[in-house]
Structure 1
Amino acid sequence: MTDAGTLGAVPAATILPALRARFGALVREVGKFGTVGGIAFAIDLVIFNVLLQTGAESLLAKTGSTLIATSVAFAGNRYWTWRHREHTGMARQYTVFFLLNGVGLGIGLACLAISHYGLGSIWPEFQTPLADNISGQLVGTAVGTLFRFWSYRRFVFGEAPVPAPAPAAAPADPAPPAAKMATRPTHKTAPSAVRRM
């Protein structure tokens, strides 16, 4: 008769380490991606506002600041966030990274354009630097970041399978039972003489 607790513990012993390994790796990637993204965001924010203060047009300022921040983000993600993943070649990764980042840039520019030129044509408050920062830097960056994490992880830095946990040690097979064979003499003995009475 088997113990019910033992039956429940066997799958948990194999499933939990696999889940821990898979989600632990994902959490570490998200944390590193967030750190790199935070640094790139700060660079983007500072350069964007410096360009705005020098009189640059809003969309050109955003494009320039994003290109510089993207180069920083690529280096951080390649050499830190996903350094354990497959790297096929710097030129290919850099190109795909920038193409996908172009989509992220398009998301940020679309948010900025809708706010600055669409809503700004109705309400002048949407054409201020504060409104540009909210629409371009906060809203556009948030939506673009979700896209970037998914696309970089899938298309730029390849797949890296999470190592499967070592299977639980199976009990050793018991030694096979010794053959129960009667010891047979190898030579024939002469039958003992029967004493007749």
Structure 2
Amino acid sequence: MRGQSVLAWLLELVKFCAVGGTAFVVDVGLFNLLRFGPGELLGDKPLTAKVISVAVSVVVAWLGNRHWTFAGTRRSSARRELLMFVLVNLGGMAIAVSCLAVSHYVLGLTSPVADNIAANGVGLVLGTAFRYLCYRYLVFTGPARH
């Protein structure tokens, strides 16, 4: 745990979950707005809607994690950190989009509930575990500040 006490690690995890919860609301809300909202802007393009909603939520998550969750270990170069953050989130997005693609196109489960379970349930859980580990050990790895 990078020399952290269990209490400090738990606090970090709570902050990560709070930031992630906010990003989740942005992701799911925007996904559903694009797919099923007024005018159904991307009603017939679930993968495009998911990519857009994830992209917006990534910005929300980066700001929250950089300035709150991992503020004590953020890198001095925000540009490099953002690049690493985006790469990790592309991996997390690939996990969510893959779950949605399998459910929607392979299994033929095309209802709004099925799309949400695949993308925002299964895909999100797997992607979140991947993101946390990568943020902790690859992205926010600057020297600890007290």
Tell whether the structures are fold-level matches, with TM greater than 0.5: yes
Other-structure match for 2:21? 38
Detail structure 1 runs of 4+ shifted over 4 Å in the superposition: 159-163
Structure 2 counterpart SS, 1:127: coil
1:24 aligns with 2:7: yes
- Greater radius of gyration (CA): 1
Taking the aligned partners of 1:115 and 1:97, their CA distance within structure 2 comes to: 27
Alpha carbons 1:22, 1:162 under 8 Å: kept:
no
> % of aligned pairs identical?
38
Gaps of 5+ in 1: 1-20, 121-125, 164-197
2:95 touches 2:127 (CA, 8 Å); kept in 1?
yes
1:114 and 2:121 matched: no
Asked if the contact 2:75/2:142 (under 8 Å) is kept, the reply is no
- Aligned partners of 2:104 and 2:110 also within 8 Å: yes
Distance 1:84 1:101, change over 3 A: same
Structure 1: distance between partners of 2:74 and 2:83? 16
User: Does residue 47 of structure 1 match 2:30?
Assistant: yes
Preserved contact between residue 104 and residue 144 of structure 1 (Cα < 8 Å): yes
Q: TM-score, normalised by structure 1?
A: 0.67
Equivalence for 1:143: 126
Between the two proteins, the alignment pairs up a number of residues equal to: 139
Partner Cα separation in structure 2 for residue 147 and residue 37 of structure 1: 13
Following superposition, the deviation at residue 87 of structure 1 comes to 1.5
Q: 1:95 aligns with which of 83, 106, 113?
A: 83
For each residue in 1:133-154, what CA deviation from the matched residue of structure 2 results, as whole angstroms up to 9, or x when unmatched?
0000010000000000000111
Aligned partner of 1:90: which letter? A
Q: Aligned to 2:137, which of 144, 154, 172?
A: 154
- Following superposition, the deviation at residue 160 of structure 1 comes to 5.0
Give 1:162 deviation, angstroms: 9.8
